[in-house]
Amino acid sequence: MNIFDSIVKPTLLLNGAAARANIQRMAAKAAAAGVSFRPHFKTHQSREIGEWFRPHGVEAITVSSLDMAEYFAGAGWADITLALSANVRQVAQMDDLAGRIRLGLLAESPETVAALARGLRHPVDLWLKVDTGSGRTGLAWDQPAALIELARQAAALPSLRLRGLLTHAGQTYTAPGPAGAAALFATSAARINQVRAALQAAGLGPLLVSVGDTPGCSALDRFEGADEIRPGNFVFYDAKQYLAGACRFEEVAVALACPVVALHPERGEAVLYGGAIHLSNDALAWQDGRAHALAALPEGAGWGQPLPGCAVTRLSQEHGILSMPPEQLARLRVGDLVCLIPAHSCLTAQAMGRYLTLDGHWIEMMRA
Amino acid sequence: MNIFDSIVKPTLLLNGAAARANIQRMAAKAAAAGVSFRPHFKTHQSREIGEWFRPHGVEAITVSSLDMAEYFAGAGWADITLALSANVRQVAQMDDLAGRIRLGLLAESPETVAALARGLRHPVDLWLKVDTGSGRTGLAWDQPAALIELARQAAALPSLRLRGLLTHAGQTYTAPGPAGAAALFATSAARINQVRAALQAAGLGPLLVSVGDTPGCSALDRFEGADEIRPGNFVFYDAKQYLAGACRFEEVAVALACPVVALHPERGEAVLYGGAIHLSNDALAWQDGRAHALAALPEGAGWGQPLPGCAVTRLSQEHGILSMPPEQLARLRVGDLVCLIPAHSCLTAQAMGRYLTLDGHWIEMMRA
């Protein structure tokens, strides 16, 4: 049976073969480059998809919440970095988990380091969060004094095993293309190594450097200055990554199948059942404005090429408005399915909560 | 015990007294204006909160998905309008539900009406979706020929009880204030009544008019030209509605409590554990850009006034960046909780999946 016949409402499709190939490729690249591969599991959030990494020798992972760490620890993952500055209100729960697995935590302030030292009975790996230019979080790379002070504080505490410096070069997500992402990655790596050298000179080290962002890791084959990479989004990629040249369209592994509920040729729009609660309302730059997804049509057991000139340009809670040139709109009928390629697959997966593979098998995700 | 002591991670707080007062006020207003009140339950999506409407005589509700209709039918609601253009791929499930409750559906195309007629064995109420200016979905008010044709088609089909015309004046959400929202509401009502008159002149009727949007319903006391109102967001309101003057700050009934994980005085920012997967990344106009939430501090058993000049200006998957003037930032410590007033409470509630009342009771929502 064709899976599309069974779909009556917004459904997140997963091309498992594409996802497995994405995993294989990134793992092979990390191995060839001689860096550790600690993939971020926040994108898929699924025990079953997590298993697809094991044949490639992956034993250590990254997550973005303690709940997610618990979920994957329950699936047998025994070396997990929680790559969000540690939330000191969860010290008791982190300590409990640290008694069961090797847990890595992040800190960027003396208050956090002190609270961890007070609250943890079991040792954890500690990474200092460095801001190499994304301006989101972490201590600024160009003010090493604060990092030296934090490293000194941590190094003196027996429950904290100071492992290294960690950054997320989120700025690569706005790079215009692979060369730009590679350049930003290189700048970020150079900056964090400058911090490493300053710490080394202050007698603190040796320290590892952990980096990770899908655009940079996709653009590069070598990861100069990094000991570990932590990309996550690459497992599925998405419309942003495709348009930025980080992947080929065939490498995008998820699409949201949505029924057409109305057609408005007079304004070049189809109304889809599928809105912000399904796609998330993350957006990418599109023509003169923003779009939330590209669109394709079902084709065989999957979806075809992106429909030229078509994008979801507006979302409400349950509706998506798909802007289409007349010749594309003419191909649709009320009740058809359209496969939306989300701007940002991590948030769409989170919103949908499970996947339907192209061979008709449901894959569950963690539910908070 | 103070509920804040028990909160270790992003938690959606519900001020039940404020929500009940919002319900009471809107129900009383509808009664005084002599219109039916069919509140939209997509905002709270909770059986327990649904019960708060019953003492005010509410027996008919609005929902935005068939799953939601099933959920509330299971809680004893027997008159439900599914206010999204009917998805013809779900005709069999709609028919099944229509055998158990009074179900209202929307149509805006002959294909949909024909598919409903073919697939339904049980009668349903049918509403024609009219676009009175929002440009989202529905048939354009100023082209009544298509509406007349659709009404003729529906009126001839025994399984479809043609009830009336329905619009959602979504344009009021961008009105600069209550007077603007009231004016847009009035324009929308005048337009849909023009359609009603055209249909009446064509021998189609009598037809009811159903309207509903929180800004308009909050701004007005009388609902000229409407037989039924369907607001939803008013049960909680949110930062958008507060800033647009649709409610007082004390009437906002939900806030997302988030731990502070880092402070960056050098750039006037606090980093919160609480991101797009908790708040949703809906936004409102803020200073020169956009913001995802306002911020307040815990105060007694609830939250205080909005912190001046403070807003969540950036979100990633799990982080929120709270921009703060120095004197506000100086009040925070790592590990404190901040109460975020979401830009759009419907999407935050959907993302969080449950509520913690200020007296420490968990309220569950429907889970898809």
Domains of chain B: 3-11+248-364 (2.40.37.20), 40-231 (3.20.20.10)
C-beta atoms of B85 and A321 within 8 A: no
Spatial separation of the C-alpha atoms in residues B176 and A356, rounded to whole Å:
43
Q: Which residues contact B324 (CB under 8 A, 6 or more apart)?
A: B268, B269, B270, B295, B307, B309, B310, B332
The pLDDT assigned to B1 comes to 65
In the block, residue with structure tokens 């023009």: B194
Mean pLDDT across chain A, nearest whole number? 96
- Residue (of A182, A184, A174) closest to A244 by Cα position: A174
Q: Are A139 and A150 in contact (CB under 8 A)?
A: yes
Spatial separation of the C-alpha atoms in residues B160 and A130, rounded to whole Å:
63
User: pTM here?
Assistant: 0.96
Query: Which whole number is the average pLDDT over A312-328?
Result: 96
Determine the residue of chain B that is closest to A319 in CA distance: B84
CB proximity under 8 Å: B 90-149 to A: 90, 93, 108-109, 111-112, 115, 135-137, 140
Q: Are B169 and B130 in contact (CB under 8 A)?
A: no
Q: Report yes or no: A353 at the B interface, CB cutoff 8 Å.
A: yes
C-beta atoms of B350 and A277 within 8 A: yes
The pLDDT assigned to A348 comes to 97
pLDDT at A281 over 80: yes
Determine the residue of chain B that is closest to A317 in CA distance: B347
Q: What is the ipTM of this complex?
A: 0.95
Provide the 10 A C-beta neighbour count for residue A317: 22
The pLDDT assigned to A211 comes to 96
Greatest mean pLDDT range, A133-137, A167-171, A251-255: A251-255
The pLDDT assigned to A118 comes to 96
Spatial separation of the C-alpha atoms in residues A262 and A333, rounded to whole Å:
8
Query: Which whole number is the average pLDDT over A146-169?
Result: 95
Q: Could you read off the pLDDT of A227-257 as tens digits, one per residue?
A: 999 999 999 999 999 999 999 999 999 999 9
Residue A199, both tokens: 């710490």
CA distance B254 to chain A (A): 18
Determine the residue of chain B that is closest to A135 in CA distance: B267
pLDDT at A171 over 90: no
- Residue (of A162, A142, A146) closest to A154 by Cα position: A162
- Residue (of A240, A298, A249) closest to A13 by Cα position: A298
Q: Which residues in chain A have their CB less than 8 angstroms from residue B334's CB?
A: 88, 109, 111-112, 115
Q: Are B70 and B103 in contact (CB under 8 A)?
A: no
User: Which amino acid appears at position A103 of this protein?
Assistant: L
The pLDDT assigned to A137 comes to 87
Q: Which residues in chain B have their CB less than 8 angstroms from residue A346's CB?
A: 317
Q: Could you read off the pLDDT of A291-315 as tens digits, one per residue?
A: 999 999 999 999 999 999 999 999 9
Q: Extract the residue ranges of chain B whose pLDDT is less than 70.
A: 1, 368
Residue A312 phi/psi, 5-degree rounding, is -80, 110
Across the A:B interface, residue pairs with CB atoms under 8 Å apart total 151
Residue B302 phi/psi, 5-degree rounding, is -145, -145
C-beta atoms of B90 and A8 within 8 A: yes
The pLDDT assigned to B32 comes to 98
Residue B127, both tokens: 């509403």
Torsion sign over Cα A173, A175, A181, A186: negative
The pLDDT assigned to B21 comes to 98
C-beta atoms of A262 and B109 within 8 A: yes
- Give strand pairing partners of B285: B290
Q: A7: burial class by Cβ within 10 Å (0-12, 13-18, 19+)?
A: middle
